Amino acid sequence: MYELNGKTALVTGAGKGVGKGIAIELGRAGCDVIVNYNSDRTSAEATVAELKALGRNAIALKGNVAEATEVAELFYQALKTVARIDVLVNNAGVQTWSSLLDLSESDWDRVIDTNLKGSFLCTKAAATHMKVRSDGSIINIGSGCNKWPFPNLVDYSASKGGLENLTKVSAVELGRYGIRVNCVAPGAIEIERTKTELGDYAGAWSALTPLGRIGYPQDVGRAVVFLAGEASSFITGQTIYVDGGLFTRPPWPAEHEKR
């Protein structure tokens, strides 16, 4: 039930980080993968090479998900290459660090356009294709920001909060076509970008996480594999937190004194 043999997935922003981890885990499950990228072709081709080493068919396709014309071209090129797209993973995202009062309009627009509008555009394109077969799985990649407001990440938090409700509305409207829409919300995941956020990223977040460790891209990828396959065939409109319990745990001031 966790095998995806014969299926094809399109993963946006899959050149590195969480997106690459998702693409590789889908490949391990037997899925062929279209690796979308915006500017870093080298990383996308490296992901493709790893997928081919697993015996999967894979191709890198350029496209800025924030632009409707580029999304249309992305899906056009994809469907010239593969017979169908069974799984869409809306992973592409950007993040800026700024307080609310200092945040520029241009940064707000870039984050909302990529993270939220991009997911809308890709969902619409994929669902239009999937409804013909009355089957498909769309998986949005959220964040702890789905649940908790993160300081100095107002645009990012707004985009991920919006993505949570985009997931729910899409699930309700697309269910009649046999299309399922869910969200995976990662916690502290160690990737190239996050390792630069703190001097000891792993140590700082492991101490706050009930399971006592940080996450890795493959942890997110395995949740995506579950939602992409038959094991989750009656699950839609849901968010799965892949966070080791981090965003379930409330602050507890006296806890450190009991250890």
Q: Which residues are catalytic?
A: 156
Strands 8-11, 32-37: pairing kind:
parallel
Q: Determine the straight-line distance between the first and last CA of the chain, rounded to whole angstroms.
A: 42
The span from the CA of 90 to the CA of 84, in Å, is: 17
User: How many CA atoms, within 13 angstroms, populate the side-chain half-sphere of residue 233?
Assistant: 7
User: What are the angstrom distances between the C-alpha of 165 and each of 126, 159, 195, 201?
Assistant: 18, 10, 29, 30
Q: Is 257 left (phi over 0), alpha (psi -120 to 50) or beta?
A: alpha
The residues, ordered by sequence, that sit 6+ positions from 4 with a Cβ below 8 Å of its Cβ are 26, 29, 30, 31, 86, 87, 225, 228, 229
What is the maximum alpha-carbon separation in the chain?
A: 61
**Nearest CA-CA partner of 58 in 84, 34, 91:** 34
Instruction: List residues bridging with 89 in a β-sheet.
Output: 11, 139
- Residue environment code for 20-52, b if the CB has 16+ CB neighbours within 10 A, otherwise e: bbbbbbbbbbbbbbbbbbbeeeebbbbbbebbe
| Runs of H (alpha helix) within the chain | 17-28, 41-53, 68-81, 105-111, 118-130, 154-174, 201-208, 217-228, 255-258
